[in-house]
Amino acid sequence: MKININPNVHPIIRAPYPFDEVRKNLQMAREKFPQDYIVDFGVGDPTEPVPKIVRRKITDAIEIRKSSGYPSSLDPLGHPELKVQISNWFLKRFGVKIELDFITVTYGAKYTSFHLPLYFINPKAGEYCLIPNPGYPPYTDGALLSGASIYYLNLTEENNFEIDLEVVPEEIAKKSKLLFLNSPHSPTGRSYSYKRLEGIVKYCLKNEIIIVSDECYSELYFNKPPLSIFNIAGAKECSIVLNSLSKRSAMTSLVIGFFASFNPELRGVFNSISSKSTQGVANIIQDGGKAAYSDETHVEKMRESYKEKLSILLPALKRYGFNPIEPDGTFFLWVKVPVGETSMDFSKKLLLEKGINTVPGNLISHEFQGVNPGSGFLRFALVPGVDDVRKATQRLG
Ligand SMILES: Cc1ncc(COP(=O)(O)O)c(C=O)c1O
């Protein structure tokens, strides 16, 4: 039988060949070194346990909810009590009150960011998605599936690793319908100032572009708490905020987040499709979410732990000859390799000589207008434990 595939799917499922080489290198390193020798800064998934307060709540919820039906039978857009917690948290954290009806509980920021271009882009009209490069891969994959044209906003030293909308040609700006914004940004660690965000909002209002502000790293910061797009004058009209408990409360294994928008059209479309395509986030996970949003202690502890790891790794990388970009937030370090080295070769050398695994930056960036902004960079994720980070820095000398 001949299987027909939507042609938009092809570029998504075609894995880039160089990833095979990375996997091969990792296999070689595993054979070379004793067990547990490799310190893996390559994976992007935190390893902290789910907070006790959340685990306890979910354990109890299994009994309490043993005969409840689909979550959507309670409310297709999320438990009202969870939305109260989210709204209270947002007000306390950002000083912005979001009405309960403006919030929808989601399966996290990945699922949601992937799907949004499908709802808001008309490919037949040649509409564009503006995507930071490097950036979170589902932004690109969802845009490709929707049939959108993509204009990448290359993040380079020259623009301080911040998106620069002035470079977008006017005819493309006119056809752009959606901009992905991620502050703090993965993998560069950059957070945007009020002034920069204000410029972005003005540009998007002028060109009628929806801002999808992925704020899933909002609680992982090293000094100043980052702003939400909702803090910016004018942003409520054109923005969607995505946030989640994956990073804030180490709940990647449970996957729960929220969508919020002050614009009735934006949330009308999203909510209508959500309630037609999903049964809602599992009731017990939503219960766990309530516990997570009721507590800040575990979040503060996690921030301290990332700060400690950063304070160990950053000076060691500098001593070794790297040029790391000091991150404002996330748990990623975007590190320039020494002059004359390539990302791929240097990543391999670190792995096979020092047992330190990283991701070559060019593999998580796209070549756009003849430039791959990830070339010459490595991504370190601060996910190994403090002792392992220390072990790695000792090997760097
Ligand atoms: C920028 C960014 N957005 C979203 C996600 C995933 O969010 P969630 O776990 O809520 O789906 C990640 C995870 O690595 C990420 O880096």
87-108 confidence digits (pLDDT tens): 999 999 999 999 999 999 999 9
Of 275, 338, 312, nearest to 395 by C-alpha is 312
pTM above 0.75, yes or no: yes
Q: Is 244 in the pocket of ligand 1 (CB under 6 A)?
A: yes
322: confidence class by pLDDT, cuts 50, 70, 90: confident
Atom of ligand 1 nearest to the CA of 135: 1
Residue 73 has pLDDT above 80, yes or no: yes
Atom of ligand 1 nearest to the CA of 112: 11
Residue 15 has pLDDT above 80, yes or no: no
188: confidence class by pLDDT, cuts 50, 70, 90: very high
To 10 degrees, the CA torsion angle through 34, 37, 43, 47? Answer: 110
Least confident of 8-22, 134-148, 273-287: 8-22
Using a pLDDT cut of 90, give the percent of the chain over it.
89
And the tokens for 18?
């160089």
Cβ-based burial of 395 (10 A; exposed 0-12, middle 13-18, buried ≥19)? middle
CB 98 within 8 A of CB 89: no
The predicted structure's pLDDT at residue 18: 64
Strand pairing report for 128-133 and 323-325: unpaired
Residue 185 has pLDDT above 80, yes or no: yes
Residue 22 has pLDDT above 90, yes or no: no
Write down all domains in the chain, each with its CATH number in brackets.
Answer: 15-44+298-396 (3.90.1150.10), 52-293 (3.40.640.10)
Q: Is 109 in the pocket of ligand 1 (CB under 6 A)?
A: yes
| Nearest CA owner, ligand 1 atom 10 | 108
Pocket test for ligand 1, best of 114, 136, 243 (most atoms within 8 A of CB): 136
Q: In whole angstroms, what is the distance from residue 360 CA to residue 344 CA?
A: 5
Residue tagged 């909308």 (tokens): 165
And the tokens for 249?
């409360």
Average pLDDT of span 356-366? 94
Q: Is 216 in the pocket of ligand 1 (CB under 6 A)?
A: yes
| Nearest CA owner, ligand 1 atom 14 | 44
Inter-residue long-range contacts of 299-306, CB under 8 Å, 24+ positions, other chains counted: 299/219, 299/248, 299/249, 302/48, 302/220, 302/250, 303/219, 303/220, 303/221, 305/48, 305/386, 306/220, 306/222, 306/331, 306/382
Residue 301 has pLDDT above 70, yes or no: yes
More confident residue, 205 or 74: 205
The predicted structure's pLDDT at residue 368: 96
Average pLDDT of span 291-300? 97
Residue 16 has pLDDT above 80, yes or no: no
Return the SS3 of 40.
Answer: strand
The predicted structure's pLDDT at residue 63: 96
Average pLDDT of span 387-393? 96
Average pLDDT of span 8-32? 84
Tens-digit pLDDT profile for residues 211-225: 999 999 999 999 999
Tens-digit pLDDT profile for residues 142-164: 999 999 999 999 999 999 999 99
Residue 42 has pLDDT above 80, yes or no: yes
Mean pLDDT taken over the chain: 95
Q: Cis (ω within 30 of 0) for the bond into 187? A: yes
- The CA-CA-CA angle for residues 176, 179, 184, to 5°, reads 160
252 CA to centre of ligand 1 in angstroms: 9
CB 180 within 8 A of CB 139: yes
The predicted structure's pLDDT at residue 380: 96
Q: Is 246 in the pocket of ligand 1 (CB under 6 A)?
A: yes
Strands (E), the chain: 39-40, 103-106, 128-133, 149-154, 176-182, 210-214, 239-244, 257-260, 323-325, 332-336, 356-357, 359-360, 377-381
